[in-house]
Amino acid sequence: MKLGVCYYPEHWSEDLWEQDAAEMVETGIEWVRIGEFAWSRYEPNPGEYHWDWLKRSLDILGNAGLKVVLGTPTATPPKWLMDQHPEIIASDEDGQPRGFGSRRHYCFSSQIYREHCKRIVTEMAQEFGDHPAVAAWQTDNEYGCHETIISYSVAARDAFRQWCAERFNDDIQALNQAWGNVFWSMEYRSFDEIELPNLTVTEANPAHKLDFWRFSSDQVVSYNKLQTDILREHSPGRELIHNYMGNFTDFNHHDVSADLDIASWDSYPLGFLDQSNASETEKLQWMRTGHPDFAAFHHDLYRGTGNGRMWVMEQQPGPVNWAPHNPSPLNGMVRFWTWEAFAHGAEVVSYFRWRQAPFAQEQMHSALKRPDNSADIALSEATTTASEIKELATSSPTQPHKEVALVFDYESDWSLRVQPQGDNYGSLEWAMSLYGACRSCGLNIDILSPQADLDAYKVIVLANQQLESDALLTSLKHSDAQIIIGPRSFSKTQQYQIPSNLAPGVLQSLIPLKAARVESLNDAWSDTVEPNSSTVNGTLRIKKWREFIETDLKPQFTSDDGWGFLYQNNNIYYINGCMDQYSLDQLFMQLLSQNESLQLSPCPNGLRQQKLGQWQFFFNYGPEEQLLPSHRQTILGEHKLAQGQLAIVKR
Ligand code: GAL
């Protein structure tokens, strides 16, 4: 458990550098990330490298005892490069080139850009690969930020044609068949005829879109690997990291992480909430704390993509600048978020940023220090956290405890987005609701891919697995965990077609039922279902999505119109509809309490828990005071938790 900070020496006079480094150390900070946007200062003119200032900065930071994460600057190609090669630029869905003057203005498919990335990363890695202060590298910055995964450029089209030829073994009829191109005479005679799925008169073929999405994700993977190969060669022994984003699924993070050592993400709980589709009531309720499950969900998701290793590379320090509204966090929240990240296995939490910039796009984004160099509130919270970590360091915990595996599939997220069949159904939102329902039972959750090893878990929940998955089917067949299958599971083949035996396809070998018809429903509509078995109770409110099931199994609930809901076959449950959060929480509490291998510990009103080694964390997001059992010995904090307070107790 270490603290870090993001720092931009190129934004400040060199006179400040020594003092900055000394103050970071005084705060208890051990890691500093620098350099990820400074290409115009590394190479102000083509081939003219200015490494002297970066060396001075690394020396100062290293001499102060700080470890550096050095960023490759490829999120911000400089003006001269864009003028030399305008074809580097990405194109939007209207086919329009995007402009210079902010960041991320490149297309992942541009071969020319890849050559320049190779060049600048190699130069940098040769120059600083063995600098004693450089302990890690960050590749690029936030792949996909500002909608930059998918590009409809000529470079992307050409690369996509090649990708398709490889995927379909040069057999264009195989592609036509997989995509169903006979429909509307969309058949191609050769891979050179393939178009990108934009600018069509009406909806493009969803199978075409899904494969374009898979291609676009693969482009990110190979682009990242191009950098990691160079860094591994010239800077051996350093950790390789990328900083992922919140609420973002546009590429397969497992595939990118396969070439990295650690997955990190950028946590802005208030910004993400304000920017989200949450209701106005929810936004107001959590506006100074963030939603109680949002940060935790991402910690667990990225810990899963990082094979157990996760950092927060950027932690919100105060008001940000980029959401529709940018409120100030409750005092204490920066410390609270930091501890919550540690509870979920973060190795480092790094604040964004050291000092607020008085210029350019992010001048309204707060930091640990204000633009006049005085301390902002977060600085003292970071100092407090650092001293708490120091005190507790002797009893350092291990990995979070394994209880629930929530299976989240990136490709299914795309397949559900290419043809949603209901505009209010969000795969990520639904996954977060399921996560919230498990978490309200006080359980630890790992968010894993369908390929993951699910052996150690007591509960497996399929969050969004629309696409059939052989690997997952095999794991489920061999598991004696409680298995909860969500709606729409296995309802499409990998090629985006309806399975020959209808949904849930091959899962019918685990639970004998068929979704004969589905309906998506306006948000204003809802229906209630009542229990008709003794193992369940209470009324549930169904919303957004219903599936009409044909089966000999008896439904556990029924609605007024005779619709049956929730089916069980031994340890397998099938949920054939969506619910509001309250109902989902109630249902999970009932289902999981039937599982004798679990010990539930219900979380009322914004209280959240996490078990890590011998520690049990309690976080109070809610406005009401929470009392922890007085016989439990606290290691940090009090038994009485006001909003924004946390405690660690011994398990
Ligand atoms: C992140 C980004 C940072 C900074 C920050 C502001 O998305 O990586 O460079 O822009 O947001 O909150």
How high is the pLDDT of residue 535?
83
Pocket test for ligand 1, best of 33, 352, 353, 365 (most atoms within 8 A of CB): 352
For residue 245, which atom of ligand 1 is closest to its CA?
7
φ, ψ at 620 (rounded to 5°)? -105, 105
In the reported structure, the alpha carbon of residue 389 is separated from the centroid of ligand 1 by a whole-number distance in angstroms of 26
Give the bridge partners for 568, in sequence order: 573
Q: For atom 12 of ligand 1, which residue has the closest CA?
A: 320
Quick check: 400 pLDDT over 80? no
- Residue 136 half-sphere exposure, CB side, CA atoms within 13 Å? 25
pLDDT above 70 coverage of the chain, percent: 99
- Contact 255/151 with Cβ under 8 angstroms? no
CA angle 589/590/595 to nearest 5° reads 90
SS3 assignment, position 257: helix
Pocket test for ligand 1, best of 72, 322, 363 (most atoms within 8 A of CB): 322
In the reported structure, the alpha carbon of residue 304 is separated from the centroid of ligand 1 by a whole-number distance in angstroms of 23
Q: How confident is the model at residue 81 (pLDDT cuts 50, 70, 90)?
A: very high
In the reported structure, the alpha carbon of residue 351 is separated from the centroid of ligand 1 by a whole-number distance in angstroms of 11
Q: For atom 5 of ligand 1, which residue has the closest CA?
A: 352
- Per-residue model confidence as pLDDT tens digits over 37-67: 999 999 999 999 999 999 999 999 999 999 9
Q: What is the 3-state secondary structure (H, E, C) of 105-141?
A: CCCCCCHHHHHHHHHHHHHHHHHHCCCCCEEEEECCC
pTM, to two decimals: 0.98
Pocket test for ligand 1, best of 11, 36, 103, 145 (most atoms within 8 A of CB): 145
Q: How confident is the model at residue 523 (pLDDT cuts 50, 70, 90)?
A: very high
How high is the pLDDT of residue 397?
66
Quick check: 623 pLDDT over 70? yes
Q: How confident is the model at residue 604 (pLDDT cuts 50, 70, 90)?
A: confident
- Contact 132/75 with Cβ under 8 angstroms? no
CA dist list (Å): 158 to 163, 196, 250: 9, 10, 21
In the reported structure, the alpha carbon of residue 362 is separated from the centroid of ligand 1 by a whole-number distance in angstroms of 9
Q: For atom 10 of ligand 1, which residue has the closest CA?
A: 362
- Per-residue model confidence as pLDDT tens digits over 249-292: 999 999 999 999 999 999 999 999 999 999 999 999 999 999 99
Quick check: 383 pLDDT over 70? yes
Residue 191: partners with Cβ closer than 8 Å, 6 or more residues away: 161, 162, 164, 165, 170, 172, 175
How high is the pLDDT of residue 138?
99
In the reported structure, the alpha carbon of residue 275 is separated from the centroid of ligand 1 by a whole-number distance in angstroms of 14
Helix residue ranges, H only, 35-171 = 39-42, 52-63, 79-84, 111-128, 154-167
For residue 316, which atom of ligand 1 is closest to its CA?
12
Mean per-residue pLDDT, 600-622: 94
411 is catalytic: no
Quick check: 394 pLDDT over 80? no
Quick check: 517 pLDDT over 80? yes
314 is catalytic: yes
How high is the pLDDT of residue 480?
95
Active-site option among 23, 36, 43, 142 = 142
In the reported structure, the alpha carbon of residue 365 is separated from the centroid of ligand 1 by a whole-number distance in angstroms of 9
How high is the pLDDT of residue 642?
98
- With a Cβ cut-off of 6 Å, ligand 1 is lined by 141-142, 145, 266, 268, 314, 320, 322, 352, 362, 365
Give the bridge partners for 38, in sequence order: none
Quick check: 411 pLDDT over 90? yes
Q: For atom 9 of ligand 1, which residue has the closest CA?
A: 141
How high is the pLDDT of residue 651?
85
Q: Checking DSSP bridges between strand 615-620 and strand 607-612, what pairing results, if any? A: antiparallel
Q: How confident is the model at residue 605 (pLDDT cuts 50, 70, 90)?
A: confident
Q: For atom 1 of ligand 1, which residue has the closest CA?
A: 266
Q: How confident is the model at residue 148 (pLDDT cuts 50, 70, 90)?
A: very high
For residue 361, which atom of ligand 1 is closest to its CA?
10
For residue 313, which atom of ligand 1 is closest to its CA?
8
For residue 320, which atom of ligand 1 is closest to its CA?
12
In the reported structure, the alpha carbon of residue 448 is separated from the centroid of ligand 1 by a whole-number distance in angstroms of 26
Average pLDDT, the chain: 97
In the reported structure, the alpha carbon of residue 268 is separated from the centroid of ligand 1 by a whole-number distance in angstroms of 9
How high is the pLDDT of residue 396?
63
pLDDT above 90 coverage of the chain, percent: 96
Rounded CA-CA distance 550/642 in Å is 50
- Per-residue model confidence as pLDDT tens digits over 107-121: 999 999 999 999 999
How high is the pLDDT of residue 327?
98
Pocket test for ligand 1, best of 139, 266, 326, 350 (most atoms within 8 A of CB): 266
153 φψ region: left (φ > 0), alpha (ψ -120 to 50), beta (else): beta
Q: How confident is the model at residue 629 (pLDDT cuts 50, 70, 90)?
A: confident
How high is the pLDDT of residue 229?
98
How high is the pLDDT of residue 536?
85
- Per-residue model confidence as pLDDT tens digits over 160-201: 999 999 999 999 999 999 999 999 999 999 999 999 999 999
Active-site option among 23, 36, 314, 340 = 314
Q: For atom 2 of ligand 1, which residue has the closest CA?
A: 142
Helix residue ranges, H only, 259-393 = 269-275, 280-285, 294-305, 333-343, 377-392
In the reported structure, the alpha carbon of residue 517 is separated from the centroid of ligand 1 by a whole-number distance in angstroms of 44
